[in-house]
Amino acid sequence: MSAQTSSLRPPRPRHVRVLATLGPASSTAEQIRALYEAGADAFRVNMSHGDDASKQALIATVRSLETDIGRPMTILADLQGPKLRVGRFEQDRVDLTAGQRFVLDGQDAPGNAKRVRLPHPEILAVLKPGHRLLLDDGKIVLRVVKRLDDGVETEVLVPGMLSNNKGVNVPDVVVPLPALTTKDRRDLALALESGVDWIALSFVQRADDVAEAKKLIGGKASLMAKIEKPAALEDIDAIIELADAIMVARGDLGVELPPQQVPGVQKQLIAAARRAGKPVVVATQMLESMIVSPSPTRAEVSDVANAIYDGVDAVMLSAESAAGKWPVEAVAMMDSIAREVETDAAYEGQIGFVETAPEPTTADALCQAAHSITVTVGAKAVVGFTTSGSTARRIARERIPANILVMTPKLATARRLGLTWGVHAVHTRDIGSFEEMVAKSKRMALRHKVAEPGDRLVVMAGVPFGVPGSTNVLHVVRVVGDELARYTKKD
């Protein structure tokens, strides 16, 4: 894609972003384009599924669409993380009854009604009496009653049918496993080689997990920490500080926490990320029924709307768009829910529930002032110039009720900003003077239809130009009718 103006498409008529997972139902160029046209702003590639060739093909197809449409496309590669599973049974399954004793051990023999292998010695080593094990997404609950030489003896608290290779969650301990498995390291290398923009790190329990992954990424992509383990909540401030964004991954989080606690934790995580100025994504079961149904339940619509009212940066579709029967309809529904919420008169007051106090920096002070000025003078858009993306993230942190048009000479920055609230990023030539900044702001606002003649713009940049993190200019301008005709050829 050229370093000239990268898109003449206007911004979406909403601020929140829609992240759609790709899969069997959305793997062709036609299907992915249909998701984009329906409202998808970014695409997730689940590294848990498929071979290397299929993952590379998905990424290449999105990049082809990027060239065709002329808009920077955002791709997130989601690493699998360690998966804890029981072994196999002699008869493929057993029926566990309430109160019975059941052993988890390291023996390689097939399991039976009395025992089964747990092929994770690190887990067996740290389990103590009183610790719970949640099997098959929490459908079966065991409690450790005794340590054994080669395992643990448990009591069945919640009974059920347990079959081969079902998942295991251990909510009461910090699991002594790295967030990056050998498979994850291979997938990470593949994703970076393929040019993805974001890496989602699963199984984050501590800030050190994030630090290790960022070292391996080496600045080639941004890092999103998935919050799905209760242990992560104990170290959340440090995790958010190190990560570039977080995801409220309510799948495992909803298994390991009592379900009634998840909504409150979700709000706390959104607020913490917003205060830090880091993008936050809410994921899992948002429109789950649309995997098989062309319309969602009322509860699902309320769930999506609630996250948007809280000012989340993006909402994510998983199986709904990857493997469901109605992928395009699911994206369109997410888009329409977002538009409806953001036109609600109460929306601006709702997203203001988080106080984002500025850091004692010039950039933060100017971005806070930009919000006040935009509201006071009725500016139609805030225009920012950025190299690293920091100016854009600071503007978005204020949840300014206007279009946010961000211009950058770095295509990688434009792509990564696709998960940031309200930001319409444009890859274009850099500016070299104050006069050029003012002129380009006006003509680009017209070209991208974020303003019309007579409208005011709030313009932000850093001087000297091209120096990352130096936002120190705020300027209010009025768009005039002949700007577009006079300056189009200079972009």
DSSP string, 39-79: T--EEEEETTSS-HHHHHHHHHHHHHHHHHHTS--EEEEE-
DSSP 3-state of 153: strand
The terminus-to-terminus CA distance of the chain in angstroms comes to 14
Give dist(CA 202, CA 37) in Å, integer.
29
- The first and second tokens of residue 104, run together, are 């988890």
- The first and second tokens of residue 51, run together, are 């071979």
Instruction: Give residue 278's Cα distance to chain centre.
Output: 11
**What residues act catalytically?**
44, 85, 226, 284
Task: Quote the Cα angle for 53-319-9, to 5°.
Answer: 80
Give dist(CA 377, CA 401) in Å, integer.
12
Give dist(CA 326, CA 324) in Å, integer.
6
Give dist(CA 245, CA 313) in Å, integer.
10
By the 8 A CB rule, do 75 and 21 touch? no
- The first and second tokens of residue 4, run together, are 């000239």
Non-local (6+) Cβ contacts of 121 within 8 A are 106
Kindly provide the residue ranges of all beta strands, DSSP E only, lying in 359-432, ordered along the sequence: 381-385, 403-408, 423-427
Half-sphere exposure of 335 (CA within 13 A, CB side): 17
